[in-house]
Amino acid sequence: MRHFDHIDTAYRKHLFFRHPRRFGRHDDPEVLAVALGATLYSPAIRPTLADDIAKAARRGVTSMVICLEDAIPDEDVAAAEANAAEQLRLVYERAGEPPLLFIRVRHEDQIADMIDRLGEAADLVTGFVLPKFTASTGDAYLEALAATAERTGRRLLAMPVIESREAVYRETRNELLQDVSRLLAKHRERILAVRLGATDLSAAYGLRRPPDLTIYDIQPVAGVISDVVNVLGRADGTGFVVTGPVWEYFSAGERMFKPQLRQSPFDAHRAAPLRQQLITSDLDGLIREVHLDKANGLTGKTVIHPTHVAAVHALSVVTHEEYCDAADILGVSGGGAMASSYANKMNEAGPHRAWAERLLLRARVFGVAAQDVTFVELLEAAGGR
């Protein structure tokens, strides 16, 4: 699969200086972790799940999670397991390339059980999402995953979710993250990315982020994100990709604050209706939050509606200016500072090297925008209108 493949080929040539490359579920996890983009969650109980997966793929979705945990009432778990197995077998029997598919389980026994239920259709499963992850609960999950992979001969990757109360509370957070770091290091070859469960983290304080604020405005949760990146997202070879927390709004009510999108970039492209649509759907808040995710070291995002995907992916494209900066930085071996190619900043070959390396990995899967192409054009092309 390839990001933006649902866009007309001729228009893609206009949009990109360097085109996104293809990737698949058997690629290096380092590549797949960045390629996840907007990961769309869907309850496993949906009777139209197979059709939903096909529609999502046509809209540019490249990763999905089939949820057996919080999205499913306790009394419906058995029905959800049966439905997920049936629907994924349907996907397997049909032609076409589905997104990267993950199953979010609620206990470790479901890992082997779901793979066995799927039979050959288990080839569709890239891995499992492991909720409420701590060192004590996580060890059982990862051992079950390893045993299932070895027994079936399949590569199964893990995405643990940091969302437990031990991760929220200050007096237990540091010890938990250190223990999780050691556990993930033992299973490094199976860890695709670390996810953040903002809904559960907020729930520990009885909070819910309103649509006109970002998760970074909710200080108790913002502190958790900062510490997770500090311990688990380091750029020294010990860290993992940490993904952005869920954006859970897709329809706006009455607004208290002004829209968070400047009007002039949209006017320049005669895209005022697109701006109004984004504001009406509260997607201006999502766009701001994705910017803050990237600035704070997070890659990709959990989403719950297909309309969110275009914004996340458009913001994941590397700008021409960023690409030139990264290329200049990585082209110098002995350190030192230089003016940027755009003559608007200083690039330092030493301190900026890790940033440049990460940016070029994102450029590989999301591409580099042509010099005069803006986020507005990318968003329109990706399906924002």
Residues making up the binding site for Mg(2+): 200
Distance from C-alpha of 236 to C-alpha of 178, rounded to nearest angstrom? 16
Enter the tokens of residue 33: 């972790």
Amino acid at 207: L
CA distances from 22 to 1, 56, 63, 370, 382 (A): 5, 18, 14, 19, 17
Q: How big, in percent rounded to 5, are the helix, strand and coil portions of the chain?
A: 50, 15, 35
Q: DSSP secondary structure string, 323-345?
A: HHHHHHHHT-SS--EEE-TTSSS
Cα 139 versus chain centre, distance: 23
Distance from C-alpha of 103 to C-alpha of 110, rounded to nearest angstrom? 9
Distance from C-alpha of 121 to C-alpha of 233, rounded to nearest angstrom? 33
Distance from C-alpha of 1 to C-alpha of 62, rounded to nearest angstrom? 7
For 53-59, which contacts have Cβ atoms below 8 Å and span 24 or more sequence positions?
A: 53/87, 53/91, 53/98, 53/99, 53/101, 54/91, 54/94, 54/96, 54/98, 55/306, 56/99, 56/306, 56/309, 57/1, 57/96, 57/97, 57/98, 57/99, 58/6, 59/6, 59/306, 59/309, 59/383
Distance from C-alpha of 141 to C-alpha of 233, rounded to nearest angstrom? 21
Amino acid at 118: L
Distance from C-alpha of 284 to C-alpha of 142, rounded to nearest angstrom? 38
Enter the tokens of residue 45: 């109980």
Residues 6 or more apart whose Cβ sits within 8 Å of residue 348: 329, 335, 336, 337
Q: Phi then psi for 136, rounded to 5 degrees?
A: -75, -45
Binding residues: 200
Enter the tokens of residue 215: 């998760």
